[in-house]
Structure 1
């Protein structure tokens, strides 16, 4: 990074907002949008749009590129990602309280987007991709840059304690399965969305823990992505290059859990291309296949999610469950069940019992005799009985674990007695 760029960044504090000072109100109080008529407010250069965005499930309130630059109108910010879809008869009104979303034929408020701490005097869709609410003096009182959803654009910070949340799919703008957290300890970490902020649940970390609570993630308009602590560059993630006026960039955590930096030209017929990715392995994200399953991947293919033997897939989010029923009062387990062997597969090693055994056969028998044991992992003479549900399953030839899974044998119909079933 050039000395000039570093000096410029010293004027910014990562723990404060990315405020743009705007003196002219592009959007005045009482202005409104509806999905069917005036559906968006456009930035000065016609680059970004704020307003109603059509999805296969209905309309959502978003900031997106306009189709002048991007035929697909790529979304860079989404309101209310827990439940982003709004009624077709919605109307959005700019008031002193913020953006109030109502139904057209009712005075009932659906939600307030960008609720301001000070009376709002106007708003603007900026050419940076930042939608801002302004007070009567023209100072920013709320902005989308302070509330990122799944991506950041050049000039935007991911501040300490904030995170990006993936979308559920390319067309479903609800929050999905993965998140990128800029932790207050200075570490940038990828997790699945339901996990705790703990090392065992992370599948990527920048290794910068301990660099302080001012460290943030920044993307510049040359594709340079880096961590900055308010004084110096902590870590360069991408190198970037010479700023190009006619090239667009964004950094996004995609629905598949991979964090990528994209670029494209301003030509409408062009498309986004990944210029960097945290991994090209589609099985890299922990939890990509859900519980009681494992992920297999070959270069160029999508992640192949497979259930444990005897388990059935519920969904890619949930994973797999079993209707296997075990009567723990029955001492003759081997007459009803057997252990199926799977090689080169492992999960999070969350065992409740570990035994030293002389062979794979010894591990199979130990699990079969224990009615609480559904799965055991064997390696180097140790048998580790696993707790259910199993998480973070992965198939790879380099994995030395051998798994044994309890299934009903051919003479038994699984689930005859509903006594204790497994996830």
Structure 2
């Protein structure tokens, strides 16, 4: 028998010896090989024609017996695709190519992986230099390709379709599917952990939406990640990445084992990471294990928890334990079984990012109801309760790491972890059984029984205290101050005395607006701040005020003024902002002195656009500014630009909001839809931005219609030139100036340099001026739908999107407004106003009447602004 077996072995080796040769380009059916036969070739049996990729049967960990059919990048050895990732074979398991496709068999000959049923007979298997493994029929038609079935990686040039998934491996030694997944949907790229969303690609600062089209596929190349619309030549979303230094450098997009989507470049002999998202590694839900606290300093345990033996954290109280999920087989239902569990509250400011992506099971409920919902669901491990909204989010089946908010900013929700008391059943039995047991034991075991009784009493007292503390969480009798402190998301709360001291009793005003006066202040730590004393606030309670401040305080962007804190003192409200040393843009742009350089103006235009794009599409709560103007664009000494007063309309009472429905904004920047029945949207801010952009180009206000001094003497415009001419009856006539109309006319003539501030003559090219003028005119389209989004404005300014051509048919309204604006009948002498046909008189106070037509251009010279 031994002789027969030996002969069979030699026969097998010799009859399949061809498979030990490394084939180049392709192989044909009736091909069979194993890792054992490929030892001399390091597992490789097929290479692409240029040797860029190899197909092999390899074990990633030499000490194990787990072998995979895979494709590797030859130079780096990086695995880009795996066939049998969840079912490895031994070194004697074989890979077979037949006329019906590829199959992989284990030691016993059972098929554990195969290509699906094909439409025709296989003629050959090819490995292309793109990294694609394909099956062809005799007509060279592709029957199957590995590019259609990616694992955790896509390579340069590979199309990744909507509905596709990249699933991270478990570890470098284990290619089976891990917990992190990247899914491409028609609207975005989604990052998930155990099917729970924790991040979206568009949340990354480098991601830009170019077109409002459904996504069809994704591709990575030397300049970034591209999400294509329909047709696929349209780029709907792009993620800009620094171009590779050399064309030969190799790039891949990969879902990593730590929950980050990365773009890596192989530079000669080493890997370089060019892009990684989310940038905050603590957004990866399992980075620090179950209930581990993730921070910039690493992993730790939150207050009330201790380090678990393997990973994550356990309750510090050893009498409490964390329940196991039942797998979600029972849906949550309202119940009164909350006494079966003890809920431990997480410290203030603790966040769990996936909560941002799941809908609450209930809204507008009290804390006890949310607690009951979690108790009634055997899959519920914790819950987060919106203290202001009454929202109830259940964390079911899996609980990952938590994180704490930075900069003393807490999250919007309060977290509670479900626990079980290990002594609960013992306590319940002891209530009735202990007296009897005691009577029996005391005569025989006096001291021992007394000891047991003492321990029992201690535990019972401790559990009663825990239940009482838990019950207190449901007590709705907090004072107004305590309610405010319990609102998650609040920035630093200052004492009124601290602000009085910082501002020297509010003695240094540096600005004012529709909401109140701003004062310069210096805190005790020498930080210079701007303190806004709000005087136009409705009769809100402190809790309502705090809730809106929490939303504003959680908005962070380099081009938005940072809210450092607040103060609620009696009925007075104060907001504390970072201090911008150069003040608002209008002070620099419109005041006498050296002109701002063109590059400086361009950076201001770009920074403002980025800030508005963030408010419109990137922050958690979408915000329409409603009052974009130079006065609300602030500058620092190093020319950093930041938008101020965003989101303050949230502080208006409902009555005030109604009053400002058609009067929010500032003369000269109001979009046409403000005075029509058209809905107000983020495109309203785009229009105002276009007006600001024109002012940056020309260096003065778009609308100049100065008043006489009341004695018939002409007043001067901002550039020091007379703007009044005499008419009949010796009444001075306004020589009004409407720059948007001039910009339209010069655009039609191609005379872009004529629009630039004359003092910059010779320092600006025609192309530079043309770019900004066209972007501005596109923003001024009468039809809001034709205006670009602020995201697209940013892309056009940065040069990553072609500048659109203004639609003249949607700009003709500027000719009408421009002519009416310059009509000599629109005159002001003292308190008198001549009103042309179609106008209405708007009186903002008893002494300041003004002419206003039924369109935006003729709003009163009084600023009828809401929030500022």
State the TM-score, normalizing by the size of structure 1: 0.70
Contact kept in structure 2, 1:124 and 1:133, CA below 8 Å: yes
Aligned to 2:143: 141
Structure (1/2) with the larger helix percentage: 2
Measure how far apart 1:308 and its partner are. 7.9
Equivalent residue pairs, number: 359
Q: Which structure has the larger Rg?
A: 2
How far apart are residue 186 of structure 1 and its match?
Answer: 4.0
What is the alpha-carbon distance in structure 2 between the residues aligned to residue 305 and residue 84 of structure 1?
Answer: 36
Instruction: Note the C-alpha offset of 1:170.
Output: 2.5
Greater shift in the superposed pair: 152-161 or 201-210: 201-210
Question: Matches of 2:323 and 2:152 in 1, distance apart?
Answer: 34
Within the candidate set 103, 119, 136, 1:100 is matched to: 103
After TM superposition, the structure 1 = structure 2 runs for residues 68-79 of structure 1, keeping only pairs within 5 Å, are: 69-70=75-76, 73-79=77-83
Bigger relative contact order (CA 8 A; separation at least 6): 1
Determine if contact 1:376/1:383 at 8 Å carries over to the other structure: no
Map Cα deviations across residues 74-118 of structure 1 (whole Å, 9 max, x no partner): 11011133x2311221111211111122246x5543332465332
Task: Verify: 1:87 aligned to 2:87, yes or no.
Answer: no
Shift of 1:275: 0.7
Unaligned runs of 5+ in 2: 1-23, 204-208, 313-320, 326-334, 430-868
Shift of 1:394: 2.6
Pair 1:135–1:346, CA change in 2 (3 A):
same
Residue in structure 1 matched with residue 272 of structure 2 by the alignment: 273
Of Structure 1 and Structure 2, which has the larger fraction of its residues in strand?
1
How many angstroms apart in 2 are the aligned matches of 1:59 and 1:143? 21
Match of 1:51 among 47, 52, 56: 56
Question: Offset at 1:261?
Answer: 0.3
Change (3 A) 1:219 1:99: same
Between 1:53-62 and 1:389-398, the stretch displaced more is: 389-398
Query: Following superposition of structure 1 onto structure 2, how do residues 222-237 of structure 1 map, counting pairs within 5 Å?
Result: 222-229=222-229, 230-237=232-239
How many angstroms apart in 2 are the aligned matches of 1:59 and 1:232? 41
> 1:293 maps to which residue?
291
Work out whether 1:63 is the aligned partner of 2:74: no
Structure 1 residue 48: Cα displacement: 1.4
Displacement of 1:119 in angstroms is: 1.0
Change (3 A) 1:111 1:236: closer
Q: How does 1:17-416 map to 2 (within 5 A)?
A: 26-38=26-38, 39-40=43-44, 41-56=46-61, 57=64, 58-66=66-74, 69-70=75-76, 73-81=77-85, 83-103=86-106, 107-113=109-115, 116-183=118-185, 185-195=186-196, 201-206=197-202, 211-212=213-214, 215-220=216-221, 222-229=222-229, 230-241=232-243, 244-266=246-268, 270-286=269-285, 293-298=291-296, 301=298, 309=305, 321-322=322-323, 339=344, 342-347=347-352, 348=355, 350=360, 387=394, 389=396, 391=399, 394-397=402-405, 398-400=409-411, 401-405=413-417, 413=423, 416=426
Give the deviation of 1:156 after TM superposition.
Answer: 0.3
Question: What residue ranges of structure 1 are gaps of 5+ in the alignment?
Answer: 1-23, 196-200, 357-362
47-56 or 376-385: which moved more? 376-385
CA shift for structure 1 position 171: 2.3
The structural deviation recorded for 1:178 is 1.7
**What are the superposed Cα offsets for residues 105-144 of structure 1, whole Å, 9 maximum, x if unpaired?**
x554333246533211111222211111111122322111
Take 2:337 and 2:237, find their aligned partners in 1: how far apart are those partners?
59
1:37, distance to aligned residue in structure 2 (A): 2.3
Q: Secondary structure, in 3 states, of the residue corresponding to 2:281?
A: coil
Cα RMSD after superposing both structures: 4.2
- The DSSP-based 3-state class of the residue aligned with 2:181 is strand
